[in-house]
Structure 1
Amino acid sequence: MITRATLAAVGDVLIHSPVYKDASISKGKYDFNPMFNEVRKLTQEPDILVANQESMIGGTGLGLSSYPSFNSPQEIGDALKAAGVDVVTLANNHTLDRGEKAIHSALAYWDKLQMPYTGAFRSEEDASTIRTLTRNNITFAFLAYTYGTNGIPIPKGKAYLVNLINVDKIRADVEKAKKISDVIVVSMHWGTEYEPKPNQEQLQLAQKLADMGVHIVIGNHPHVLQPPAWVRGKDGNNTFVMYSLGNFLSAQERTERLIGGIGSVEVTKTVTGSNKTITLKNPTFIPTYNYYRNHRNFKIIPMSTIKSNDTLKNALQQLEKTKKHMALFIPDLAFR
């Protein structure tokens, strides 16, 4: 029996104050849905879509805030779900920005939305439960880790609040995930901000993850695109590593920080008798542009549809430059 499913991911969703002010519809009420309208058909296509929700959605009750200590409206969660997101990763350098209260408030809202989350948890029990989703008879497990929390210490005895990158812990989690899933997806908050290529630590960690038998790695944090790669594990397995998917939605400036995208790969599960094999193929990337003017009218646009210099100066050249950059390690990477 052969079944297939497509797993896709988008980069950082980082809700700076201009973004939530633009989404404001009345006092304390927000609607982010229009920001996703032009990319919605594409985000709803994959069997599973993963997003890195970088700012905690603690909600208005705790007081909204932006850089350097984020707390976002909970309605961004509704918009991500409506856009087709199936899993959110929450392990990043901003997880602890507003402390435990914001984490607990955010997790309660994700639960209300019935949106699986990973990387930040409410308890030891919650942290020990590996999130899985099954599509087309293929079960995916999701794990997430961050390099740090901007110097904010994790409260004593509450390591479950956020997963830090620790190779031994990751290995133990991966082994646990192998028992309950077919495909292991690990999100890594890593790398150097604004660097267009993975650094040595990313390359080394990617190799370790491949050697553990991880199938797909989703990287975030650099806020710019880094080219994906195939990394061969010690058992001959091919791991698909998306080193950085850049920003999906934010109010950052400079063109390279406003170009992100949707990375995807097709997963095939073949069962013959008692033997099961998982193969990955057809890696694809859809470049997107995070448009805004004067900190208003935020929207995510597929770059291939941009024809006007008013939207993005030298749009065609920017698209070709992005394609060339992203195909650096995978020359036959497909684009849409």
Structure 2
Amino acid sequence: MRVHIAATAAAVVVLTSAASAAAAPTLVAVGEVAPGGRLEVRATGLKEPFRVQERRGDAWVDRGPVVYGTGKPSRFRAPDRVGRLRLRARGGDGVATPSRDVRVRPLTLAAVGDINLGDGPGAAIERFGAAYPWTSVGPRLKAADLAFGNLECAVSNRGVQQDKTFTFRGRPSSLTALARLSGLDVLNLANNHSGDFGTTALLDTLRGIRANGMQPVGAGSNESQAYRAVVVERLGLKVAFVGFDAIEPFAFRAVGGRPGNAWAFPSRVRSSVRAAAAQADVVIATFHWGIERVFTENASQRALAQTAFAAGATAVIGAHPHVLQPIRRPRPGRLVAYSLGNFVFTPRSAGTERTGILTLKLGAGRVLGDAFAPARIVGSRPILRG
């Protein structure tokens, strides 16, 4: 949900001493941080040096470094637990600021499956308006701290239709409405339809996503950009996304300076996830994989998921089969959703109308919990149950 984007990953807390003549004691803060998230605390009106302290039981315990200099921050990690964090700052003369509470809660990531703005959904948008796909699910997605989906089409008025059985293309106005109404922050393009109208349309799609305040992953204007992680900051956590395609056309892959998507070579999965893990607290690896209309994962999917986890992925999210596949938890703190099925799509066989929103609760380096809100596709748009 883009309204929560901040300039820094750190949750900022400003503690003001009662001794300050400039203003009454106040706290200026986001008020929330994820377990293990970065906190940046500033104090004013204190005798240098000062130090931030955390209340533990009946005692105040020092946190973060000793700070010299008015307005300089103290930076440290929040506890790796959910609850209340009570903080104060204590100056060199023993004078302390009033205490303030920071809520420690999981970061919520909402994830959905295939989104097609052309074909059947495109016709419905033409008839009922660009808001049509999002009337039921938009509020739920916007309620999450972050939202992610697989954009299964090109979005452009240009390009040359490729020689393949199904080609999907949406209007730029539909992407603008998606950005405004869906709550989605990151869109995967590592799939077998992002190149349906050639590299010109792919580049338009990349530009359109960014111009509407979202981030594309899994494709780029060259090979390096296609495999590069997208890092988004929320609640003091850096969340990295990487995307990989394992479904032909193989010709859609980015090579050298040619635009395209990131192919799921195990060696590239390994190196991309490792690079993402080196710069983020949570890594979400997404794959376009599996067999259409098959309700369980295959050995190839399991192997790629294991490669991603071994390289440092926190969660793996899959798409392409057009049906829901199992959500599995291979070990504590890790989760793989092998396929989230269709989302904004036209169902064409039994089971392809079943969909939903997967919500992950995240702390630094681990999945703390998950829930799945089921939905059904009616008229090419998802409708939540209940």
TM-score range, shorter chain: 0.7 to 0.9
Deviation at 1:141, TM superposition (A): 0.5
Range that drifts further, 138-147 or 63-72: 63-72
Aligned to 2:168: 70
Contact conserved, 1:133 with 1:140, CA < 8 A, in 2?
yes
Corresponding residue SS for 2:330 = strand
Structural RMSD (CA): 2.3
Contact conserved, 1:190 with 1:220, CA < 8 A, in 2?
yes
Contact conserved, 1:57 with 1:105, CA < 8 A, in 2?
yes
Aligned to 1:244, which of 339, 342, 345? 339
Taking the TM superposition and a 5 Å limit, the aligned residue runs for 1:1-336 are 1-2=78-79, 3=104, 4-24=106-126, 31-58=129-156, 60-62=157-159, 68-81=166-179, 82-124=181-223, 126-127=225-226, 129-152=228-251, 154=253, 157-158=256-257, 160-232=259-331, 238-269=333-364, 278-292=365-379, 298-303=380-385, 305=386
- One-letter identity of the residue aligned with 1:33: A
Separation in 2, partners of 1:64, 1:289: 31
Corresponding residue SS for 1:149 = coil
- One-letter identity of the residue aligned with 2:384: P
Structure with more contact order per residue of length (Cα contacts < 8 Å, sep ≥ 6): 1
Contact conserved, 2:116 with 2:345, CA < 8 A, in 1?
yes
Deviation at 1:64, TM superposition (A): 8.6
Separation in 2, partners of 1:32, 1:50: 19
Deviation at 1:95, TM superposition (A): 2.3
Deviation at 1:209, TM superposition (A): 1.6
Separation in 2, partners of 1:213, 1:18: 38
> TM-score, normalised to structure 2's length?
0.68
Contact conserved, 2:151 with 2:189, CA < 8 A, in 1?
yes
CA displacement, residues 125-164 of structure 1 (integer Å, 9 cap, x when unaligned): 6346421111100110010000133354647644651100
> How many residue pairs align between the two structures?
282
Separation in 1, partners of 2:230, 2:158: 28
- One-letter identity of the residue aligned with 1:86: D
CA displacement, residues 91-121 of structure 1 (integer Å, 9 cap, x when unaligned): 0011222111110111121121121111110
CA displacement, residues 281-332 of structure 1 (integer Å, 9 cap, x when unaligned): 221001111102xxxxx432102x2xxxxxxxxxxxxxxxxxxxxxxxxxxx
CA displacement, residues 201-245 of structure 1 (integer Å, 9 cap, x when unaligned): 11122222222221011100000000100123xxxx642101000
CA displacement, residues 255-305 of structure 1 (integer Å, 9 cap, x when unaligned): 410111111211123xxxxxxxx331221001111102xxxxx432102x2
Contact conserved, 2:186 with 2:215, CA < 8 A, in 1?
yes
Instruction: Percent identity, please.
Output: 26
In the superposition, relative to structure 1, how do residues 204 and 34 fare at CA in structure 2: closer, same or farther (>3 Å)?
same
Contact conserved, 2:159 with 2:198, CA < 8 A, in 1?
no
> TM-score, normalised to structure 1's length?
0.77
Separation in 1, partners of 2:152, 2:373: 21
Corresponding residue SS for 1:84 = coil
Unaligned runs of 5+ in 2: 1-77, 80-103
Range that drifts further, 81-90 or 207-216: 207-216
Corresponding residue SS for 2:292 = coil
Corresponding residue SS for 1:282 = strand
- One-letter identity of the residue aligned with 2:234: R
Corresponding residue SS for 1:179 = helix
Separation in 2, partners of 1:111, 1:67: 29
In the superposition, relative to structure 1, how do residues 175 and 61 fare at CA in structure 2: closer, same or farther (>3 Å)?
closer
In the superposition, relative to structure 1, how do residues 158 and 245 fare at CA in structure 2: closer, same or farther (>3 Å)?
same
